[in-house]
């Protein structure tokens, strides 16, 4: 059984445009990146890297150091953290 229409270049072009528009709409529905989650992951990554180097800064200290970007109290530990930030 044959379909009641013929595929023409205009129809194929229209189908392609519809597919692109559907892709755009699907892309708009994706959640936006959450900077708090990225920041949390970054702090944990920095703290883990520092722990490998035998630095004893805990997560709160690393988080505070990343927030303030001024590290003067902890001496060598702060200098190590400053290199990672």
Identify the domain containing residue 64 by its residue range: 35-84
* Per-residue model confidence (pLDDT) at position 59: 77
- The answer to whether position 42 is within a domain reads yes
pLDDT in tens, 3-51: 788 889 999 999 999 999 998 888 887 777 677 777 778 888 888 887 7
- The answer to whether position 73 is within a domain reads yes
In the 8-state DSSP scheme, what is residue 3?
A: -
Cα-based distances in Å from 66 to 44, 47, 70, 74, 85: 11, 11, 8, 14, 6
- The answer to whether position 24 is within a domain reads no
- The answer to whether position 7 is within a domain reads no
pLDDT in tens, 50-72: 777 777 777 787 777 776 654 44
- The answer to whether position 13 is within a domain reads no
Number of domains the chain is built from? 1
- Of 49, 84, 25, 3, the C-alpha closest to 17 is 25
């Amino acid at each position: 059984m044959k379909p009641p229409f013929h595929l023409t270049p205009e129809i194929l072009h229209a189908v392609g445009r519809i597919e692109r528009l559907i892709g755009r709409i699907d892309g708009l529905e994706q959640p936006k990146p959450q900077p708090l989650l990225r920041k949390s992951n970054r702090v944990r990554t920095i703290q883990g890297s520092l722990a490998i180097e035998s630095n004893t800064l805990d997560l709160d200290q690393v988080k505070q150091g990343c927030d303030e970007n001024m590290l003067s109290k902890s001496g060598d530990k702060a200098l190590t953290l400053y290199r990672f930030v």
